[in-house]
Amino acid sequence: MAKVEMIKGVLYILNVVYAVLGLVTAATGIWFFVQLQEFVTLRNTNHYLLDYRVYWPQVAPWLFILLGLFVMMVALCGYCGANKESRGLLGIYAIFLILIVIGQVITATLIFVFVDGEDTDRFIKDTVYDGYYNSQSNPDVFKSFGRIERKLRCCGANDARDYRSFRNDLPLSCCQDSYYRATCDFTDKEANERLGCAKVAAVYTKIISSSVAGASLIISLIEIVGVVLAWKLFNSLREVEHYITERKEGETEC
């Protein structure tokens, strides 16, 4: 029984960790989706009425969200299975945990393969370029694009020279690292040295996607430990049940 209690205790801790990691994964997916939408909403929708393609930066956040929610539900199942010493719940838990590990490996592999491809670069750059050109005629989009420039510390779609085509000076968003402090009050030197938002956004998209995919692979290794412990507890409970059954059959009532 001491062995069973020890395995149960470790499973309690692991499933709390799984639940937290699942919550973090889902929250990261939501955050990634919100950041991406900030760019997508700048586009001129008329240009994309007939574009039904789905790009990996649009798919990746949903994969992380669904995976994170699934991990939390499976963690709850494992916690209840260990708490109630239910072999049925532990069996279901182990099977689903194996499916999660397989799903994480497949998802991470696909992200590493496709997010770093030309299609992703084209999607991000086209989105930024379209938002930039849309900002020239739409004041609301211009303000939104300025917020992106401040956040990413970039200037223009390609670089600061983009603004020379329709205005005499650079917008303040190219010279600010916050809403209140300008870093190039007397010269445009820093703004001219900043990269274009298309390049910066493409690099950040790859870094974020690859980081979360790498974290998913690390989490999958931790989940394999949970599968092993669930299987050990499953077998230990079977041995205990078998021992109790044999004892009842062999004992005599006084």
**What pLDDT does residue 30 have?**
92
d(CA 72, CA 225) in angstroms, rounded, equals 16
Q: Does position 159 have pLDDT exceeding 70, yes or no?
A: yes
Indicate the range of 105-109, 128-132, 183-187, 250-254 predicted with least confidence: 250-254
Nearest to 108, CA basis, from 53, 71, 67, 75: 67
pLDDT(252) > 50:
no
Between CA 160 and CA 162 the distance in angstroms is 5
Reference 125, options 195, 215, 49, 199; nearest CA is 199
What is the pLDDT at residue 177?
Answer: 58
Question: For the CA atoms of the chain, what is the radius of gyration?
Answer: 27
pLDDT, residue 254, reads: 38
Sign of dihedral through CA atoms 232, 234, 236, 239? negative
Q: Using alpha carbons, select from 15, 64, 3 the residue that is nearest to residue 35.
A: 64
With contact defined as beta carbons under 8 Å apart, do 78 and 230 qualify? Answer: yes
- Say what percent of the chain tops pLDDT 70: 81
Residue spans of the domains in the chain: they are: 2-119+203-250, 137-199
- pTM, two decimals, is 0.73
DSSP 58-94: HHHHHHHHHHHHHHHHHHHHHHHHHHHT-HHHHHHHH
- Residue 185 three-state SS: coil
pLDDT of 35 higher than 80: yes
Q: What is the 3-state secondary structure (H, E, C) of 198-250?
A: HHHHHHHHHHHHHHHHHHHHHHHHHHHHHHHHHHHHHHHHHHHHHHHHHHHHH
Q: CA 97 from chain center: how many Å?
A: 19
Residue 245 predicted with pLDDT over 70: no
**pLDDT for res 52:** 62
Question: Any idea which of 62-71, 90-99, 182-191, 219-228 has the lowest mean pLDDT?
Answer: 182-191
pLDDT above 80: residue 197: yes
